[in-house]
Amino acid sequence: MSCPRKPSRQSVRFWVWLTQSTFVVGLLSLIWFVLRTGTKPSRAAYPCQRVAAANSTAWVAAYLLPLLPLARLAKPREWNRRTFGLLLATGILVVGGVSWLSMAPNSPLTPSSVPAVIPLSLAETRATAGPASNLFAIQNIDSENMGIPALLELMSDQGTAFYRSTAASSTAARNGLISKDDVVILKVNAQWDQRGGTNTDLVKAVIQAIVNHPDGFTGEIIVADNGQAQYGARGNGGAMNWRLNNAASRAQSMQAVVDEFASTHAVSTSLWDVFTSRLVEEYEAGDFSNGYVVEEPATSPSGMAVTYPKFKSAFGTHISFKHGIWDAEGERYDSQKLKIINMPVLKPHFIYGATASVKHYMGVVSDRLSWTAGTRAHDAVRTGGMGTALAETRFPTLNILDAVHVCFLPDQGPMVYYSKTSEAGIIAASTDPIALDAWAAKKILMQGAEHLGQPTSVFNPFLEDEPDGAFAQYLTASFEALRDSGLRVTLDEARMNVFVRSL
């Protein structure tokens, strides 16, 4: 039996050209917006519809409005007909779109009815079976350091030291997570602005913790994400310099945070959108271009084609997300030196119910190039594709979940407006992304939704409770993919130790 061949560069280039054609994308967006919204205005508030509306408006502006001057060359009667038709089409799109958005119950144009703060009660629990995964949560966090020092202390108290060091420090140990000379990728959510992206105050606190390494940090920190060069708050992917950010100071972008450290440490950003459509080979094959490696089509049950970034950092370090740091002189990879801290924001997702640590790896893979390998990454989420990505690329060293401001409305997300969130004041962490997501969904999302009188079923992480739930389905499938790969994760509450500290 022959295996499917890897896509050629020519086929990739054609596919990328087709999907990036502004004429094709804009026209299809207009058709999609009209047909999908139909007679149900609330659909216009869906993230995909908001992006379609933006693409449609841009298409009208780029391809229809420029034709108006040409109409002057026609006869008066013909000019009037053409002008009227063009203006009518534009008017229907703009006025109709705004009207539909205004009518939608959860539209950004309607006032919010959610409380500014929702008090949540988090309880400690102990596993009754083994092996168990440890989860750590800090509630009532302070704005100065976002609860990170308390989190590191709590982790260390239970045997998970943040720093790898022999120094006399309460948060260091020989088997700690981060060494002084590691290259650390902070995988954030930078595809969305406002509350849809990772809290930049939290990112700043984590960077500060890393550079405070007791041995003196001499490594490198890279704040990174792949917004796929599609969707996102502007319809064209992610950004490290959003004008509206998830932070106490809304002007504080990811780039602004990084700039605060740039003069004293090797800290930078890397937006993988820039090369998400570029097919490359690994360094060992002699290819030093930034881009995405596409492996042979997967034979796993998820059907996920494995893709991952390979790039040079702002400080000249050659990084393969899968294999590690490339040593050109020795012609080998150092896998141990590359660490991933996965920093998702906890929020609802209108397609997949909820998103946190596991689905956050959608910002690692290339959605565009996965199409050319026989499957679309975003479609494979439901069948466990993110579990495959976690197992086959690089498993995170630590997952730190942002639940500082949370949207508890089931029909929102992944775009989340300020007006749709309430302050929960929680951060949580674990080396087990499956257990962390299951616990956070049940104890944070479901509790908050119940407080607001909202349906909770879409946030339920367990198939036995919600067999038709998209979230429960993809979390279970991802768990199975990780378990079958030999990684120790759990979806069993009896195998979870939950440690909570309140500030």
- Is the pLDDT at 395 greater than 90? The verdict is yes
Distance CA 411, CA 42 (A): 10
Whole-angstrom distance, CA of residue 356 vs CA of residue 399: 10
Give the DSSP H/E element, type plus range, for residue 400.
strand 398-406
CA proximity to 381, closest of 407, 349, 344, 412: 349
- Residue 79, pLDDT > 60, answer no
The answer to whether 219 touches 181, Cβ cutoff 8 Å, is: yes
Average pLDDT rounded to a whole number, residues 219-244? 96
Q: How many CA atoms lie within 13 A of 418 on its CB side?
A: 8
Phi and psi for 71 in degrees, rounded to 5? Answer: -65, -20
pLDDT the model gives residue 1: 38
- Reported as a single tens digit per residue, the pLDDT across 344-365 is 999 999 999 999 999 999 999 9
Of these ranges, 32-41, 92-101, 178-187, the one predicted with the greatest mean pLDDT is 178-187
Tally the C-alpha atoms within 13 A of residue 144's C-alpha that lie toward its C-beta. 3
pLDDT band at residue 336 using 50, 70 and 90 as cut-offs: very high
Degrees, nearest 5: CA angle 174-179-182: 155
What torsion, rounded to 10 degrees, do the Cα atoms 472, 475, 481, 486 define? Answer: -120
Residue 374: its pLDDT value, please?
74
Question: How much is the mean pLDDT over the chain?
Answer: 86
* Residue 301 confidence (pLDDT): 78
Select from 9, 359, 377 the least CA-distant residue to 189: 359
113 residue type, one letter: S
- Asked if pLDDT for residue 460 goes beyond 50, the answer is yes
Output the pLDDT for position 100.
46
Provide φ and ψ at 207, rounded to 5°: -60, -45
CA–CA separation, 101 vs 98, rounded Å?
Answer: 5
Compute the distance between CA of residue 53 and CA of residue 34 in angstroms, rounded to an integer: 9
Taking only the tens place, the pLDDT of each residue in 278-317 is: 999 999 999 999 999 998 765 667 888 899 999 999 999 9
Asked if residues 369 and 9 have their Cβ atoms less than 8 Å apart, the reply is no
Q: The whole model's pTM is what? A: 0.83
- Over residues 290-301, the pLDDT tens digits come to 999 998 765 667
Q: Is the pLDDT of residue 4 over 50?
A: no
Please give the pLDDT value at position 48: 58
Cβ pair 207, 260 in contact under 8 A: no
Q: Distance between the two ends of the chain, CA-based, in angstroms?
A: 60
- Asked if pLDDT for residue 342 goes beyond 80, the answer is yes
Tokens of 418: 């300020």
Q: Are strands 183-188 and 220-225 parallel, antiparallel or unpaired?
A: parallel
Reported as a single tens digit per residue, the pLDDT across 23-47 is: 665 666 667 666 666 555 555 555 5
State the pLDDT at residue 82: 57
Distance between CA 407 and CA 101 in Å, rounded?
19
In 3D, which of 246, 249, 224, 222 has the Cα closest to residue 233? 246
Q: How far apart are CA 245 and CA 300, in angstroms?
A: 38
Alpha helices by DSSP H, 373-432: 385-392
pLDDT at 139: 97
pLDDT range class, residue 18, cuts 50, 70, 90: low
Amino acid in the structure at residue 188: V
Higher pLDDT, 102 or 76: 76
Please determine, for residue 14, whether its predicted confidence score (pLDDT) is greater than 70.
Answer: no
Average pLDDT, stretch 183-212? 98
Looking at 20-34, 80-94, 348-362, 477-491, which range is the least confident one?
Answer: 80-94
Domain ranges of the chain: 9-103, 181-489
Q: Assess whether pLDDT exceeds 70 at residue 101.
A: no
The span from the CA of 109 to the CA of 106, in Å, is: 8
